[in-house]
C-alpha cells in the first residue's frame, strides 16, 4: 500500500478541563491521554500498522512533539520487540512473506496554527503519493482495509474520500456534547455515481442565520441530496495525489510537476492497481483559502462540486455502516464513550484479573487498574479505568468513571460517570456524579456534586463560561476543531468570489 499517513495531534480544547493549556505547567498532551490506560494515539498507530502504510508521520505542535515522542518510546520499543518475537516464530513457517518490519514513525513538528495551513505549508513538499490524513483520537473496530478498498473504488473525479460516522452517543444530558452539523451529501439510489460530499453547515450557524439555506444550483446539479444531522466527521481523509497538485502554489507547480510525475510513473510500473484505467482529472485551480481547519478546507473543496459552471473534481463521502463502532475522543462525552468501548472489548476478551487489590475489594471484569495502585478493602470498581499510581481508600464505589494517574481517593467516596484529572484528590465521603475534575484539584470532604466542572482557575460556577471563552479565543488554533465560523455575509462573498463571471 503506497499511502503516506499523517496523524494530526490536536490540542483537545474540547477536553477541557482534563486537557488545559492555560497553566504554566502543561498537562499531558491530548494525544497521550489514556483510553483504557493506553495513550489514545497508540490505538491510531496500531490501526496504521494494520493498514500497512508506506510511511507514518505524527504531526504535532512544536511544544508538544517532544512530549509525545517521549510518551511513545516505551510503546515503540515494545513494537520492535513484538516484531522480533513474531519473526522468530515465523521464520520456521511459510508465512515469512507476511512479515513486515514495523514502519519507522516520523515526528514532524509544526509551527502553523491550523490544520489547513499545516497541510499546505509544511506537509505538501513531503507528499509524493496518495496520502491519508488521520486524527490522533479515534478508536474503531473498522479495519483500515475497508476504507482503502473504498478509496480505490471511488469515482475518478474525486479528489479525496472523507469518512463520516454515525453519532452513536445517544444521551445528551452532559454538557460536553460535540457540535452538531448538517452534512449534505448526494444520494446514490439509482445512479452509478457514488455519494459525494456537498456541504456542511454547523447547527449553531444555522441557528444564527435563522435558516438552513440550500443553494438552488446545488439542487439542480444534485437533485437528490440527503441532509443528515447524525453524521460526524471522522477527520479521516484518503486523498489522491491530485489534491497535492491542486493545493500547491502555482510557482512550485512548474518545477515540481515533472519530477514528481516521473517519480510516480516509476512506481506505477512495478505495481498493479486499478488506477491504470483512471481517467486523468483535469484540475481547475481556484483560490482555495487553506488558512483554516482541514474540515473547512474539505468543505470548500466539496462546495466546488456545485458552485461552478464547469464540473470540478469532488470529494467522496464514505459513511461507516451503523454496525461498526467508531469513536473520536474529541470531547469529554465521546472520550468517556471511547473508554467504555475499550473496556467492553477488554471484558469480552480477558478473564478476571486482580492485581494489588486485596481480596476484599471487587474490581469488575470490565475495569482496568494501572500499575502501583493501592485499593483498600470493600471498594467496588465497575466499568472504570484507573490510571497508574492511584490510591483508593476503603468502601469506595467507582462506576463508569475515568481516573487518570496518581489520583488520591479517600474513604467512602462514590463516583459515578466522573472524569478525574491527574494528581487530583477526592476527600472522604464525597459523592460525585457526572463531574469533570481538573488535575491537582482537591475536592473537599463530604461534598456532594452533580454535573459540575471542577477547575482550579475560577469559582465553580464560572467555569463553564470561562472554558467557553477559552474555546472561542483559541478556536482557530485547534486541530480537530470544526467550528463553522462564517457568517451569512461572509459566506455570500465567498460564493461570489468563486463564481465565474
Partner 1 sequence: MTPKQKRGTASHKDVVEQDDRLQAVVLTDSFETRFMPLSAVKPRCLLPLANIPLIEYTLEFLAKADVKEVYLVCSSHADQINEYIENSKWNLPWSPFKVSTIISPESRSVGDVMRDIDNRGVINGDFVLISGDVISNVQFDKMLDFHKKTHAKDKDHILTMCLSKAIQHYKTRSIEPATFILDKSNSRCIYYENIDKPHSKIKSALSIDPELLEDVKEFSLRNDLIDCRIDICSAQVPPLFQDNFDYQTLREDFVKGVVSSDLLKKGVYAYITDEYGSRVDSWQAYDEISQDFLGRWVYPVVLEANPLEENTYSYESPHIYKEKDVVLAESCKIGKCTAIGSGTKIGEGTFIQDCVIGKNCSIGKNIKISNSYIWDNTVIGDHSVITHSIVASDVELGSKVILNDGCVIGFDVKIDSGMILPQGSRISSSPIETDVPSVFEESLSADSNSSGEEKASFAVNKKNRDIIAIELVGPNGIGYVYESDYSDDDDDSSISNHVSNTLVHHVEELYLSDDSIRSTSARTKKKRTMSSGSMYTDREDYETEFEDEEDFEKEGIATVERAIENNHDLDTAMLELNTLRMSMNVTYHEVRTVTIKSILRRINHFIFTQTLGAKEAVSKVFSQWSALFKRQCFDPEDYIDLINIVMEEIMKIDFDKPNLILFASLNSLYENDILEESSIYSWWDTISEDPSYSNVVSLTSKWVEWLKTADEESSEEDDDE
Footprint of partner 1 on this chain (CB under 8 A)?
Answer: 182, 184, 187, 190, 203, 206-207, 209-217, 219-230, 309, 311, 488-489, 492-493, 495-497, 499-501
What is the helix (H) or strand (E) element at residue 254, kind and residue range?
A: helix 250-270
Collect all residues with Cβ–Cβ distance below 8 Å to 265 and sequence separation of at least 6: none
Nearer to partner 1, 23 or 487 (CB): 487
The string of DSSP letters for 472-501 reads: HHHGGG-SS-------HHHHHHHHHHHS--
Q: 192 — phi, psi (to 5°)? A: -80, -25
Cell of 112: 502553523
Nearer to partner 1, 169 or 345 (CB): 169
SS (H, E, C) 267-318: HHHHCCCHHHHCCCCCCCCCCCCCCCCHHHHHHHHHHHHHHCCCCCCEEEEE
The Cα–Cα gap between 399 and 38 comes to 19
CB of 486 to partner 1, least distance (A): 13
CB of 308 to partner 1, least distance (A): 9
Nearer to partner 1, 26 or 208 (CB): 208
Q: Which of 475, 485, 476 is nearest to 208 (CA)?
A: 485
Nearer to partner 1, 152 or 214 (CB): 214
Greatest CA separation for the chain: 78
CB of 223 to partner 1, least distance (A): 4
Rg, C-alpha atoms of the chain: 24
Q: Which of 363, 327, 361, 412 is nearest to 35 (CA)?
A: 327
Contact at 8 Å (CB) between 388 and 364?
Answer: no
Nearer to partner 1, 212 or 360 (CB): 212
**CA-CA distances (angstroms) from residue 361 to 35, 212, 328, 394?**
24, 55, 33, 9
CB of 187 to partner 1, least distance (A): 6
CB of 184 to partner 1, least distance (A): 8
Nearer to partner 1, 171 or 349 (CB): 171
CB of 314 to partner 1, least distance (A): 12
CB of 67 to partner 1, least distance (A): 40
CB of 299 to partner 1, least distance (A): 16
The Cα–Cα gap between 217 and 330 comes to 34
**CA-CA distances (angstroms) from residue 451 to 59, 174, 320, 331, 437?**
35, 7, 32, 15, 11
Q: Which of 325, 354, 317 is nearest to 341 (CA)?
A: 325
CB of 179 to partner 1, least distance (A): 14
- Residue ranges of alpha helices (H) inside 25-173 are 40-51, 62-91, 115-117, 144-153
The Cα–Cα gap between 269 and 28 comes to 46
The Cα–Cα gap between 211 and 209 comes to 6
Nearer to partner 1, 154 or 294 (CB): 154
Q: Which of 313, 310, 342 is nearest to 325 (CA)?
A: 342
CB of 169 to partner 1, least distance (A): 14
**Between helices 488-498 and 294-307, what is the axis angle to 10°?**
60
Nearer to partner 1, 145 or 229 (CB): 229
CB of 363 to partner 1, least distance (A): 38
Nearer to partner 1, 95 or 311 (CB): 311
Q: Which of 189, 269, 233, 146 is nearest to 481 (CA)?
A: 233
Where in 342-382 does DSSP place strands (E)? 362-363, 368-369, 374-375, 380-382
CB of 222 to partner 1, least distance (A): 8
Nearer to partner 1, 428 or 498 (CB): 498
Nearer to partner 1, 219 or 448 (CB): 219
The Cα–Cα gap between 401 and 386 comes to 8
Nearer to partner 1, 55 or 484 (CB): 484
The Cα–Cα gap between 120 and 128 comes to 14
The Cα–Cα gap between 151 and 166 comes to 19
CB of 303 to partner 1, least distance (A): 13
Nearer to partner 1, 306 or 341 (CB): 306
Amino acid at each position: 500500500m503506497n499511502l503516506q499517513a499523517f496523524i494530526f495531534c490536536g490540542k483537545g480544547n474540547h477536553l477541557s478541563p482534563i486537557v488545559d493549556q492555560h497553566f504554566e505547567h502543561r498537562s499531558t498532551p491530548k494525544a497521550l491521554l489514556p483510553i483504557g490506560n493506553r495513550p489514545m494515539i497508540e490505538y491510531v498507530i496500531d490501526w496504521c500498522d494494520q493498514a500497512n502504510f508506506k510511511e507514518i508521520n505524527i504531526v504535532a505542535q512544536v511544544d508538544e512533539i517532544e512530549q509525545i515522542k517521549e510518551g511513545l518510546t516505551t510503546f515503540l520499543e515494545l513494537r520492535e520487540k513484538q516484531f522480533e518475537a513474531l519473526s522468530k516464530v515465523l521464520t520456521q513457517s511459510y508465512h515469512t512473506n507476511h512479515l513486515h518490519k514495523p514502519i519507522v514513525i516520523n515526528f514532524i513538528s509544526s509551527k502553523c496554527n491550523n490544520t489547513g495551513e499545516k497541510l499546505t505549508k509544511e506537509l505538501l513538499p513531503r507528499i509524493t503519493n496518495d496520502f491519508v490524513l488521520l486524527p490522533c483520537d479515534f478508536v474503531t473496530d473498522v479495519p483500515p482495509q475497508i476504507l482503502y478498498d473504498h478509496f480505490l473504488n471511488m469515482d475518478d473525479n474525486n479528489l479525496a474520500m472523507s469518512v463520516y460516522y454515525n453519532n452513536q452517543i445517544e444521551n445528551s444530558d452532559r454538557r460536553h456534547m460535540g457540535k452538531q452539523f448538517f452534512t449534505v451529501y448526494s444520494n446514490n439510489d439509482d445512479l452509478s455515481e457514488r455519494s459525494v460530499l456537498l456541504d456542511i453547515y454547523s447547527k449553531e450557524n444555522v441557528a444564527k442565520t435563522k435558516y438552513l439555506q440550500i443553494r438552488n444550483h446545488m439542487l439542480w446539479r444534485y437533485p437528490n441530496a440527503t441532509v443528515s444531522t447524525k453524521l460526524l466527521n471522522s477527520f479521516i481523509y484518503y486523498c489522491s495525489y491530485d489534491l497535492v497538485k491542486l493545493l500547491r502554489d502555482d510557482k512550485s507547480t512548474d518545477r515540481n510537476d515533472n519530477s514528481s510525475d516521473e517519480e510516480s510513473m516509476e512506481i506505477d510500473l512495478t505495481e498493479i492497481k486499478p488506477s491504470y484505467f483512471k481517467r486523468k482529472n483535469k484540475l481547475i485551480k481556484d483560490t482555495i483559502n487553506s488558512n483554516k481547519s482541514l474540515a473547512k478546507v474539505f468543505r470548500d473543496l466539496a462546495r466546488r462540486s456545485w458552485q461552478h459552471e464547469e464540473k470540478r473534481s469532488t470529494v467522496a463521502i464514505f459513511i461507516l455502516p451503523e454496525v461498526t463502532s467508531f469513536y473520536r475522543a474529541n470531547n469529554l462525552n465521546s472520550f468517556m464513550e471511547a473508554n467504555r468501548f475499550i473496556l467492553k472489548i477488554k471484558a469480552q476478551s480477558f478473564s478476571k484479573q486482580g492485581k494489588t487489590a486485596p481480596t476484599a475489594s471487587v474490581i469488575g471484569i470490565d475495569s482496568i487498574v494501572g500499575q502501583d495502585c493501592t485499593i483498600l478493602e470493600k471498594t467496588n470498581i465497575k466499568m472504570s479505568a484507573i490510571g497508574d499510581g492511584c490510591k483508593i481508600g476503603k468502601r469506595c464505589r467507582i462506576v463508569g468513571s475515568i481516573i487518570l494517574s496518581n489520583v488520591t481517593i479517600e474513604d467512602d467516596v462514590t463516583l459515578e460517570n466522573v472524569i478525574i484529572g491527574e494528581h487530583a484528590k477526592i476527600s472522604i465521603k464525597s459523592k460525585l456524579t457526572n463531574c469533570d475534575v481538573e488535575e491537582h484539584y482537591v475536592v473537599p470532604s463530604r461534598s456532594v456534586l452533580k454535573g459540575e466542572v471542577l477547575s482550579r482557575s475560577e469559582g465553580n460556577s464560572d467555569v463553564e463560561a470561562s472554558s467557553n471563552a477559552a474555546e472561542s479565543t483559541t478556536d482557530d488554533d485547534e486541530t480537530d476543531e470544526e467550528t463553522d465560523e462564517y457568517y451569512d455575509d461572509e459566506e455570500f462573498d465567498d460564493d461570489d468570489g468563486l463564481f465565474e463571471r
